[in-house]
Structure 1
């Protein structure tokens, strides 16, 4: 009997270890410190966050806090599908990187080879100018729509309208390469180039050439607002005077009652945004940056390539920026939109990745990621 009990205990212990495998290298103290950062949101009456932390490609900790949907009290999990806003740019850039490595294009290729509308500009816009946000194209939100409606994502618009609005400008803001200027249309144009070369929709190209090989099976380009997306997280903003005034400026008048504003995304714009994905998939993406199993060293080097133009900004790579956090090198990009906040932060020298996604517009995912990094440094996990 004693041997049977011992055997059962051993089996139970092994099963328990298997279930918690991703968390075995975190002490209870470390987990508690991280969980405390999200304690305010750890209930089904609030939007919240999903987080993931890995080291050397191994998941150390992942968790969800808050509600993915307040109508039905659906909890956020690590397989919840978030819109990641501008964190999407690195995936658009990755698709371009694949075409460059196949010698279909180069960074010096004139974008007008594939976008004839760019021929009207006297200065040549090259692929590199789009990738590195130095094209001189005026981004669409700074311009008026022909319809007179605002660019708030409550209103329908697609990338064709964004591109045509920007390219209706007869002159560039500056000569390509002279200034750095954040511009989503740059990345929208990159999707058109990908489609022109591949003969596929950007959605299909990203799926078959990027997401599927990386086994990111819950990632997609949200190019059709009518699509059914399993485990989709609903975006929210706080129903504060600041937000109500902000919506009102765009002609959207809302009630004052209630704590949150539900903000459905009715505009299928992508390239600069548009990726929907999960914590689990983003950890796979980040793990490959360590293993380099997909794409090899060439892909890794191109994704992290920086170029010096005729301006001071020289730390941008392929939808990524190279920076410093408390003396440690970081590779990151953050995203934000109505009801969305996201951050993917990597410490390449230490092999650590921190991913934070939120369905709250004021979620400041970048700040939460930094706070997690501080804890990991204190606990000597990030060293």
Structure 2
């Protein structure tokens, strides 16, 4: 027995250096491949980006590219704070499910239970429909009159009043149609149930709880350390982003964060620090329409596939910024990319990096 154990120990002892060398080569090759992808996409003197790749909850790649501010010639840094646009919807969905776990609402209930004055035109619109973009409610961002309110600091009620009387686009559950109005209503429902503003609810129950210290409800007026300034393309020129009121995008897209904080967010979800495993299964389900067709969307996440693995994904786009996050549960790989020009989307390159990550041994 001792002889067998000694031989096994000897084999492991001699294999370990080569195994470690192999892991190191893989990590170096992965880094070079990712560098190549991102250096080609984000030039040193143009608006930039921050990317993080994490394996088993820990960062294995974390770099910044380009400029955080073109006017002031400020380089991007990995602590930069970005507007994340529709990645906000993940936080809104989790906030709703936190209230579900507290017994304060049920996703199968009609929205009129919480918003009694909302006109549903005789249709049964549920919380589930709002979460899955299947409500049929008119998306207010597609309305021609949207620019009339773009710079107004509306209350949540005033924002809901802006679109609530619009005709339905389809019967609830009939089709999937990405819908910012639904997530505005979810934010408003959070306020009605909790007695807190959406901003305060997210800050207290999510950001503070899990240590997302550099995340917040967006503001153009407050001084925000390490802010990445937004840019847009105008013809051949790069210009500063157009200003809008964050009250108008509200719970559908008004949060700011960093790549590091978004990794904290993903890790908190993995560890069930915000919602239970049972609730996560409910959130990360490929839901179906009334006719049984799958929509590949859960609650706040697209449910897709990357390189043969199931993935949870969501991007965001708002004047001056684009964002993208991809998580592959089977490999415990998380990739997030944040950019400060809406002219240079991180969506495809984030997915490309996720493919690379599944092909390398990352430790």
Query: SS where residue 96 of structure 1 aligns?
Result: helix
State TM-score, norm by structure 1.
Answer: 0.81
Match of 1:228 among 208, 223, 230: 223
Measure how far apart 1:271 and its partner are: 1.3
Q: Identify unmatched segments of 5+ residues in structure 2.
A: 1-23
Measure how far apart 1:157 and its partner are: 5.7
* Equivalent pairs, count: 337
Partner of 1:249: none
Measure how far apart 1:25 and its partner are: 9.4
1 CA distance for matches of 2:235 and 2:148? 21
1:26–1:61 contact (8 Å) kept in structure 2? no
List 4+ stretches of structure 1 deviating above 6 A: none
Structure 1 segment 213-362 matched on structure 2, within 5 A:
213-222=209-218, 224-240=219-235, 259-268=237-246, 269-311=249-291, 312-362=293-343
1:140–1:162 contact (8 Å) kept in structure 2? no
1 CA distance for matches of 2:147 and 2:271? 47
2:213–2:261 contact (8 Å) kept in structure 1? yes
Measure how far apart 1:221 and its partner are: 2.0
Structure 1 segment 104-143 matched on structure 2, within 5 A:
104-143=104-143
Per-residue CA deviation, residues 205-264 of structure 1 (Å, 9 max, x unaligned), is 001111111111111122x543332222111122326xxxxxxxxxxxxxxxxx302104
1 CA distance for matches of 2:317 and 2:279? 27
Moved more, 369-378 or 122-131: 369-378
Partner of 1:183: 179
Alpha-carbon RMSD:
2.4
Measure how far apart 1:289 and its partner are: 3.1
Cα gap change, 1:99/1:31 in structure 2, threshold over 3 Å: closer, same or farther? same
Per-residue CA deviation, residues 145-191 of structure 1 (Å, 9 max, x unaligned), is 2xx8467x6x446455542222122x322221112111101000111
Matched, 1:84 2:75: no
Per-residue CA deviation, residues 245-295 of structure 1 (Å, 9 max, x unaligned), is xxxxxxxxxxxxxx3021043221221111100000001111223332443
Measure how far apart 1:363 and its partner are: 1.7
Measure how far apart 1:319 and its partner are: 0.5
1 CA distance for matches of 2:180 and 2:73? 34
Cα gap change, 1:302/1:212 in structure 2, threshold over 3 Å: closer, same or farther? farther
Query: SS where residue 336 of structure 1 aligns?
Result: strand
Query: SS where residue 117 of structure 2 aligns?
Result: helix
Partner of 1:201: 197
Partner of 1:14: none
Moved more, 232-241 or 305-314: 305-314
